[in-house]
Amino acid sequence: MMKTKDIRYYIWVCSMVFGCAGFYTVIIVGGVKQFISVDSSLFQMIQIVAFLIMSVCGLFFYIPRLRNVWLGGTMEEKYLSLPGSWIGIVLGSATGMMIFLPQVQKIQAVNHMSVELMAVILFFFFALILTVFSLRNKASRRAR
């Protein structure tokens, strides 16, 4: 039988994962709509598949890793891997690009550029920022 503390932990983690998966699903599907026109049935299928993939991955990775955070500590060093950092950098850059692309398209000075070129520039801009912060953070952890 599960303890009450464990049940509260699973409710906390699952609600956080499903909320984040819903947020990223809206962003990713909105980005897909910017580049590709899709009909409503295919659009709903893309939304469901994206939500399920992100939810399953989030549950798989976060349930064991956030236990220490739930108890008031910090995330253990063994869960902060380089491949995980790169996945976070790519997803964060794609998210930033999809959020800011409609606003950048409204700027008159870059109005002559293609949407694909603006998307690539924004992606690499956010990737550079996230890489600097990620590597700076990793270097400061090694110094301790």
Structural domain for 100, as ranges: 80-144
Q: Of 27, 50, 75, at which residue does a domain stop?
A: 75
Concatenate the DSSP letters of all residues of 35-103 into one string: H----HHHHHHHHHHHHHHHHHHHHHHHHHHSHHHHTTS---GGG--HHHHHHHHHHHHHHHHHHHHHH
In this prediction the pTM is 0.60
Q: How far apart are CA 131 and CA 120, in angstroms?
A: 16
- Helix or strand holding residue 105 (H, E): helix 82-105
- Looking at residue 121, its pLDDT comes to 92
In terms of domains, do 54 and 105 share one?
Answer: no
Encoded amino acid at 25, one letter: T
In terms of domains, do 87 and 71 share one?
Answer: no
In terms of domains, do 119 and 134 share one?
Answer: yes
> What does the mean pLDDT of the chain come to?
79
In terms of domains, do 66 and 6 share one?
Answer: yes
**pLDDT score of 143 more than 60:** no
